Structure 1
């Protein structure tokens, strides 16, 4: 049954996502708000496929933030960036520049307001990241980052990337850490399994803390649901 669910999900979601992506330039003609609404519609379609084709239900825990904030999330799969864009009202998300190379999608992502970052972490790349994040803040949007820098397996708790602390200082926004256990049901390179996944919001952490303190508090909070997957 698990294999069948995965096959049906791949056919329906990826098959219908292709024409959805091809029509992105048309939605962009109506302005950025229309493009954001279009992206959220695609994310809602993804949520439907996850729930009814894969049998994965989502549970949210913890206080929901209000106003403009800086989200810092655990990243275990391709599921949470899409789900959280829908759930959190389309924050400007920081993603690797490699995604910009995807035809049409990369163009649309930049028009939507995705902040693309170079993994080389050069000084020029960091300055670009700061400029783009500052522009998102000035536009009134929240900003979302996955501060470990890449997808990790359940049980892994790497140090946060150095750019997180710089963004925290520059943005001057409260940080809301988000823990998740998605990777237990959505493993990298494996079959997705039915069940319940959890996203847990921690209390907002105020701006202005020293680097060591903010990194320690965020790292602890995003790993609050960490479990070693069963063998």
Structure 2
């Protein structure tokens, strides 16, 4: 039954996603707001497929701020990269350059307001990332980063990448760590399982703290579900 659900999910989600993704550049012609709406439609469709085909439910714990914030989320699966787009009302997402360089889609992602980060983390790349994040903040949007840099297995707690500290210092926004346990039902390898994925909004970390303290508080809250 689990494999049958997975095959049905892949058939329905990816078949319908093709025209949605292919037409993103058309929405991008009308600016970032249109791309955000377009993306929200896709993420809601993804949630519907996860719920009704795979049997994956969402549980929200904690309270997120009503004002724009800097969100730092645990990254265990592709699931949260889509789910948080809708859950956080279209935040500007820190995106690795490899994705931003995909023809057409990458251009649309930039129109959406994605903040491109270079994994080499050169000084120039860091300055560009902070400039793009500051521009997004100026428009009243929240910023979302997966500060571990890549997907990790449940129970793994790698240190935060330098980009987090740079953005925390530059943005001067309330920072909200998000713990999630998506890897338990949405593994990187093997079938997706029915169950509950929890997103837990941690205590707000105020701007202006010393780097070590800010990173420690965010890192601990991000891993609160492990």
Which bracket does the TM-score occupy, shorter chain normalised?
A: over 0.9
1:3-24 deviation digits (Å, cap 9, x = unpaired): 1111111111111111111211
Distance in structure 1 (CA, Å) of the matches to 2:224 and 2:151 = 16
Shift of 1:68: 1.1
SS at match of 2:103: coil
Structure 1, unaligned stretches of length 5 or more?
A: 227-231
Shift of 1:186: 0.6
SS at match of 2:198: strand
Aligned pairs for 1:92-111 within 5 A: 92-111=92-111
1:95-140 deviation digits (Å, cap 9, x = unpaired): 1111123333212111101111110111111111111111111111
SS at match of 1:176: strand
Segments of 4+ in structure 1 off by > 6 A? none
For 2:145, the equivalent position in structure 1 comes to: 145
Contact 1:185 1:193 survives alignment (8 Å) = yes
Contact 2:72 2:176 survives alignment (8 Å) = yes
Structure 2, unaligned stretches of length 5 or more?
A: none
Shift of 1:203: 1.7
Shift of 1:27: 1.9
Aligned pairs for 1:4-43 within 5 A: 4-43=4-43
For 1:46, the equivalent position in structure 2 comes to: 46
Distance in structure 2 (CA, Å) of the matches to 1:159 and 1:214 = 13
| TM, length-normalised to structure 2 | 0.97
RMSD: 1.0
| TM, length-normalised to structure 1 | 0.95
For 1:123, the equivalent position in structure 2 comes to: 123
- The answer to whether the aligner puts 1:155 opposite 2:155 as a matched pair is yes
Distance in structure 1 (CA, Å) of the matches to 2:29 and 2:135 = 22
For 1:182, the equivalent position in structure 2 comes to: 182
SS at match of 2:34: helix
For 1:223, the equivalent position in structure 2 comes to: 223
SS at match of 2:152: coil
